[in-house]
């Protein structure tokens, strides 16, 4: 029940703005729209060029491509962490470039982000890291603690909740970042290489968490260069290479397929 985004959204959250409420609505057919999006860093370094794609609400989408292809840039643009150089990005019906700066945090609360650099706070416990998004949104202590405990339990870190991130393994840190991303019951979940450097069992457990969210209607985007992972689940793939989205491939579960350039 906890991980069903359609259930119990009251919980004392500080959802006073229409943006946050809008971000949590699931009736829109399209969650993400990219139209002629360019992103360049400095002079001549084009991370993304003329990117166009849609992601339906509730879809599980893999973003594949070699290192440096532009996957991380794509995810950061969706999360509103960076701005496009050109083009339009819509997330849950809101055009990001037209969203006032003061409204962005409210939209971001509806997006769970797990970056390659997990950005955990080493001066506080794993539990305190997970409870932070709920403090930011103004939940009461009892609700915040209950939700944080459930999120930590979901990623299998209950026994380590009092440890600090530096005392956790790389895999556990990744799981902790996922717990923090899901604790606010996001409408959109974005993960950048969440299974990188993990053993198969740990990787599978993390993917299972994402699948659980996908099954209850959360739009889920996973950037990865793990071909096995992509083919195993038979979902749509956005293949990014040299800053261009070159093809959409739907690989077969039984017969993994090479993305077509």
Partner 1 sequence: MKSWLRQHRYAFGTTLRRLALQPFSTLTNIAVIALTLTVPLVGAALLTSLQPVTQQFSPQPQITLFLTPGLAAADGRATLARVQAEAESELLEVAWVPRDQAYARLRNQPAWQDALGALPDNPLPDAIIVTLQGGDAATQAPELAQRWQQWPGVDQVQLDREWIQRLQSLIQFAQLGLLLLAIGVAVIVLATVFNTVRMQALAQRDEITVARLVGATESFVRRPFLYQGALTAGIAALLSLLIAAIAVVFLNDALRGLAQSYGSDFLLRLPSWPLLIGFLVVVSGLGAFSARWSVTRNTRF
Residues that bind partner 1 (CB under 8 A): 12, 14, 81, 102, 105-109, 113, 115, 119-123, 132-133, 135-141, 180, 184
φ/ψ of residue 166, rounded to 5: -65, -20
**CB nearer to partner 1: pick between 37 and 120:** 120
**CB nearer to partner 1: pick between 7 and 121:** 121
CA separation for the pair 130, 114 (Å, rounded): 13
φ/ψ of residue 17, rounded to 5: -95, 150
Q: In angstroms, give the least distance from the CB of 230 to partner 1.
A: 26
For residue 131, the tally of other CB atoms under 10 A from its CB is 25
**CB nearer to partner 1: pick between 39 and 180:** 180
In terms of Cβ atoms closer than 10 Å to its own Cβ (0-12, 13-18, 19+), residue 233 is middle
DSSP bridge pairs for 54: 33
Name the nearest CA neighbour of 67 among 249, 230, 246, 226. 226
**CB nearer to partner 1: pick between 95 and 140:** 140
Q: In angstroms, give the least distance from the CB of 116 to partner 1.
A: 13
Q: In angstroms, give the least distance from the CB of 11 to partner 1.
A: 12
């Amino acid at each position: 029940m906890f991980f069903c985004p359609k259930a119990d959204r009251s919980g004392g959250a500080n959802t006073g703005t229409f943006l946050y409420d809008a971000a949590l609505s699931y009736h829109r057919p399209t969650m993400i729209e990219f139209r002629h999006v360019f992103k360049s860093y400095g002079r001549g370094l084009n991370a993304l060029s003329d990117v166009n794609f849609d992601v339906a609400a509730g879809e599980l989408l893999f973003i594949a491509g070699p290192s440096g292809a532009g996957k991380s840039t794509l995810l950061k643009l969706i999360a509103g962490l960076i701005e496009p150089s050109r083009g339009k990005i819509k997330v849950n019906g809101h055009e990001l470039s037209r969203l006032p700066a003061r409204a962005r945090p409210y939209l971001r609360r509806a997006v769970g982000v797990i970056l390659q650099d997990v950005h955990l706070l080493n001066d506080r416990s794993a539990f305190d890291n997970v409870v932070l998004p709920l403090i930011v949104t103004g939940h009461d202590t009892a609700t915040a603690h209950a939700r944080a405990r459930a999120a930590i339990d979901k990623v299998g870190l209950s026994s380590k909740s009092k440890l600090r991130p530096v005392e956790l393994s790389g895999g556990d840190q990744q799981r902790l970042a996922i717990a923090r991303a899901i604790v606010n019951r996001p409408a959109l979940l974005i993960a950048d290489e969440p299974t990188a450097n993990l053993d198969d069992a740990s990787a599978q457990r993390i993917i299972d968490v994402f699948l659980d969210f996908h099954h209850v209607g959360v739009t889920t985007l996973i950037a990865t260069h793990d071909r096995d992972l992509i083919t195993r689940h038979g979902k749509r793939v956005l293949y990014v290479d040299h800053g261009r989205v070159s093809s959409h491939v739907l690989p077969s579960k039984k017969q993994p397929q090479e993305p077509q350039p």
